[in-house]
Structure 1
């Protein structure tokens, strides 16, 4: 681990010296790619909810369609992480975008033709999940290669993605209202085309070449990379501790919230109202991203977990059957908390983990974070049928408090010190002590 510790130290030194500012031509291209892709992704729940409801399907069908994508993504992203550490992340991301361009264009054609069969929509969603599993691991290592201020870069990307989330649902609601769900899927396909073009033009600095990559490309080397990634993952208590808690979050909070909020608001108030509520969620995430650009807490995960308490306002306000403006306010508070947590978490992972295993660590992070989301989404329909969607959403709001409390109860999580903190005074520690602390 001496080599990887040295690489982490060199990377943090470069960050403090400002070797690469946040804004450059290449970071701007990546920034646009992420923002445009996010714009399309935030249009998708509106299209699925409105489109499937129009064709006689209910909340369970919407949950299954979303779960198909999430299951493929969560199940395969670990392998995507190994690929990203062994091959060109840029080329992998371009290929994934092109695949999703084709699948969403096909979905648009199905909705335009009126031939909508649930298993076909789920199969297309599964392919999208596979493509996402190839794409996502490279995102983690791309940010540190493009900017030295990693928190600033993550904050800027979060603001861009949040602005896209603000606009996406509103645009989707207009397209559904004045055109059809097929128009939303066509627009979604176009966002992947723009993302792929930006990545084609992107020039990335060389990435570190770990010994495992040089050892070969056979199945044994592939398995060795998986094992090494798992070893690095489990050696950090703060990392696997958050993921363990996040599994509960996905089953009890996020999994049921996404499909049930969509179907409840669309059924009770129409697609335009859902667009407004989801846009409020996007506005909140913009605020959270801006706060993450300005605030530099020494214990990032503790600050992020405190902010995450605000997410409870989203499912609880919808479950309580409050008016649309109140639901929008709850969504805004939720978005701010989730966005701030997201920047704190992403920056912690990207700065605490050695560069040559970062893609694999990020893949384990994503897989663990999302592994239970399809379970929560798939159970959303049956739970709503048995208990009522409003009661399920109220439980999700309560569980959000439980999850945040659990995060703060883990010493390694609440006590993790940011990697670019320069110790001074009585708290000064030696480099070797800091290295050991990163693995606790």
Structure 2
């Protein structure tokens, strides 16, 4: 038996005399008032998150610090997220996702104000930078579980809403690094941090304005560790869910994680950094297209359709192996981005609609930890593997794994046959 938490008190019922004579218009399938507020909040947060790695790395290097310092800075940003996202899921289920997301935004706001001051005055004590980046990473671990579980509460068309959010993620992923690079180029890393602080303030205000009513919650009185164990039970009891994550872990280590470094090592010497940047912009453009397509495309078997879309992924590493020209590499990345966009929407929608609301935050946290957690390992192993086997061999192995990944998804019956949950009817 699940409990419920009242995130916001419901408005008092109007008197019969104050009711309009005509029935109210139905709630929009996607663009309800709550969704518009959440979309603004999420877009602001995604823009800030996209700017941060570029701003910190470029700011440190332009100030005379070495590559090792920039690497340590990224580790302090990413490690807390990977290590604490599970606890973020438990806390979101206990205290409601909206409250935890607001707390996370306020923590990020504080951290980025202090980062702005730090960069404006010069980073003399690196421990201060590392500590603030750790706060930012922790805040994102608290935010992430609720980012997924909120969508079914604010949109009747969950898949369409995920398509809109995926499109926003792709656009901010393109624009954020570019904007950060321009500002750092003008010598103002602090301005990037100040802009990010403003974005987090906007996000917190929009989330505070959400009116979600009563939201699902776990029974009161259980410990954090008990709730974490319940989340694990719910995760492993769904064959389609853990099967996808298991396949994705192999894909992350052998294909996804190594690809960026391998591609840079081949393309930059052959075509230059500008071409490499344009090729990666093509990936973002393709992801936008995939997100827009997924708003309308409603297959009966969403994960099967998403797996078919993932057959586009091997095209890019294959084009690199074939020494394709820049235009063909960019075209391959557009197709890869479209495939990733469609898969991402289908996957997010499946998790959000198939898992009960009272455990969704914890299950999503396990999903994120499993699917994203091994990406850094794959990235870290790229150098040793390349030295041991050669770039061509490692890239070939990654291409084969990228081809086998959607095949494995389609051959796994619980994944292939998972049905689509119909949209929630209008109130």
- Normalising by structure 2, we get a TM-score of 0.81
Answer yes or no: is the 8 Å Cα contact 2:96–2:215 preserved in 1: no
Q: Give deviations 1:286-309, integer Å, cap 9, x for gaps.
A: 100111011111111111111122
Say if 1:65 and 1:122, in contact at 8 Å, map to a contact too: yes
Match of 2:367 among 349, 352, 365: 365
Native 8 Å contact 2:29 2:157 kept in 1: yes
Q: CA deviation at 1:320?
A: 6.8
Q: Decide which structure has the larger Cα Rg and report it.
A: 2
Of the three residues 72, 93, 96, the one matched with 1:88 is: 96
Cα distance in 2, alignment partners of residues 302 and 222 from structure 1: 35
Decide which of 167, 172, 176 is 2:175's aligned counterpart.
167
Query: Counterpart of 1:205?
Result: 213
User: Is 1:420 aligned to residue 422 of structure 2?
Assistant: yes
- The equivalences for 1:222-241 within 5 A come to 222-241=224-243
Q: 1:309 to 1:344 in 2, by over 3 A?
A: same
Aligned-residue offset at 1:71 = 3.1
> Per-residue deviation at 1:232?
1.3
Structure 1 CA distance for aligned equivalents of residues 358 and 126 of structure 2: 41
CA distance in 2, matches of 1:132, 1:419: 29
2:217–2:357: 8 Å Cα contact kept in structure 1? no
Match of 1:29 in 2: 37
Query: What CA distance in whole angstroms lies between the structure 2 residues aligned with 1:392 and 1:233?
Result: 32
Instruction: Give distance in 2, aligned partners of 1:417 and 1:268.
Output: 46
Corresponding residue to 1:276 among 278, 300, 309: 278
- Write the deviation string for residues 331-373 of structure 1: whole angstroms up to 9, x where unpaired: 3222211111010001111111112111111111112112212
Tell me the residue number matched to 1:249. Answer: 251
1:314-333 matched pairs, under 5 angstroms: 314=316, 324-333=326-335
* 2:153 equivalent to 1:145: yes
Give the one of 413, 420, 423 matched to 1:411: 413
Structure 1 pair 360–255 and aligned structure 2 pair: CA distance change class (3 A): same
Q: Please report how far the alpha carbon of residue 184 of structure 1 lies from its aligned counterpart in structure 2 after TM superposition.
A: 3.9
Shift of 1:164: 1.9
Question: Aligned partners of 1:195 and 1:132: how far apart in 2?
Answer: 13
User: Where in structure 2 are the equivalents of 1:18-417 lying within 5 Å?
Assistant: 21-51=29-59, 54=62, 55=64, 57-58=66-67, 65-113=73-121, 115=123, 123-179=131-187, 181-210=189-218, 212=219, 214=220, 216=221, 220-258=222-260, 275-314=277-316, 324-383=326-385, 392=394, 395-417=397-419
Segments of structure 1 that go 5 or more residues without pairing to the other structure are 5-17, 422-440
CA contact (8 A) 1:284 1:331 kept: yes
Q: State how far apart, in whole Å, the 2-side matches of 1:228 and 1:200 are.
A: 29
Partner Cα distance (2:400, 2:165) in 1: 30
Q: TM-score, normalised by structure 1?
A: 0.79
CA distance in 1, matches of 2:269, 2:110: 30
Offset of 1:277 from its aligned partner? 3.5
Contact 1:22 1:149 in 2 (8 A): yes
Deviations 1:139-172 (A, max 9, x none): 2221111111111111111122222223223323
1:317, 1:375 → 2: CA distance? Answer: 24
